[in-house]
Amino acid sequence: MDLIERYLGAVRWNLPADKADDIVAELADLIAARIEDREGALDRSLTRGEISALLKEFGHPLAVAGQYHGQRSLIGAEVFPFYWFVLRIVLVVIAAIEAVQIGGGIVVGQHFMQALIQGGGNLIHSLIYNAALVTIGFAVIERTRWLDEYLAKWKPEELPDLSKLRLDLPPRKRWEPVIQIAFCLAFLAWWAGALPILLVPHDAKIDVVGAPVWTALYWPVIALVSARLLLSLVAMLRPAWKPLRAALILGCTAGTLLIAKVLHEATRIVIVTGSDPDKVAQVQQGLDKGLQIVVIAVAALSAIECAKELWQLYRER
């Protein structure tokens, strides 16, 4: 029966949350009735291979779930569920990357409203551009019938076991780990230099660069964000591993506090340079004071968030 449970779990994961229980129950009854008919005709129980073949007759879980969505588009009903699934992932990753860029501009002194307006414009442009690329790509896939071969060859045995995922959570809670994963990946790409971000105030005569303290923190920051990434992956794929999740929460909090301590004790977090000494001194002083406050606030919020996450973990069934 594990094939049927995996199949129903895969279908449920892509259903509207308010209709999932009824749809899965109806589909389970249909599968059970089909199995009963086959077993009656054969006068024996179905083998695992025969159950797999029967599930293939119902169709791929994404295609089956897509029949219960109200969305319609120029992309056909059979391809649309795959298109919608990929589009959501792409848009979440793009939004995370743009959020890192907006935050970077604000932290180093760019005017708050200007950073939001400029970043918001870039975000909308990036979302539309990448959505168009995904749409065009899937339109080509549909016209060439590229998915036909995959849909003909997929096997229920290859479906992941989603029975332990918290599918009863509202959509916002279900997508939180995905958003966190996308944000961590975007930050790691930026930290490694793969994503250029202009870290300067809105003044052509001023440049802002990281202070030497960041050189020593390069690998600790990578380790911290990687641990947070692992925590999100475990929370999404293996929520029952509570001891590991608790250890990762405590480790991430300890790492954040240690990094905050190093930054707080550093003479400067960023260095301002430019041709106007008075302007440089003014910006440097403002950033020194502002970033020290930010460091203390981040440390406090990290401790509070740790307590909150551990309490939520304790209350999970």
Predicted confidence at residue 157, as pLDDT, reads: 66
Q: pLDDT-based confidence at 115, cuts 50/70/90? A: low
Predicted confidence at residue 149, as pLDDT, reads: 66
Q: What phi-psi label fits residue 207: left (phi over 0), alpha (psi between -120 and 50 degrees) or beta?
A: beta
∠ CA(299), CA(99), CA(197), 5° rounding? 95
Q: Average pLDDT, whole number, for the chain?
A: 76
Asked if the model's pLDDT at residue 109 lies above 60, the reply is no
Whether the Cβ atoms of residue 156 and residue 56 lie closer than 8 Å to each other: yes
Predicted confidence at residue 172, as pLDDT, reads: 46
Max Cα-Cα span within the chain: 92
Q: Give the residue extent of every domain in the chain.
A: 203-317
Asked if the model's pLDDT at residue 211 lies above 70, the reply is yes
Residue 51's DSSP bridge partners are none
Predicted confidence at residue 164, as pLDDT, reads: 52
Per-residue pLDDT tens for 264-308?
Answer: 888 888 888 877 788 878 888 888 888 888 888 888 888 888 888
Per-residue pLDDT tens for 57-87?
Answer: 888 888 888 777 654 556 666 677 777 778 8
How many CB atoms within 10 Å of residue 25?
11
- Residue 151, amino acid: L
- pTM (two decimals): 0.49
Per-residue pLDDT tens for 3-33?
Answer: 888 888 888 887 877 778 888 888 888 888 8
Per-residue pLDDT tens for 230-273?
Answer: 888 888 777 788 888 889 989 998 998 898 888 888 888 888 88
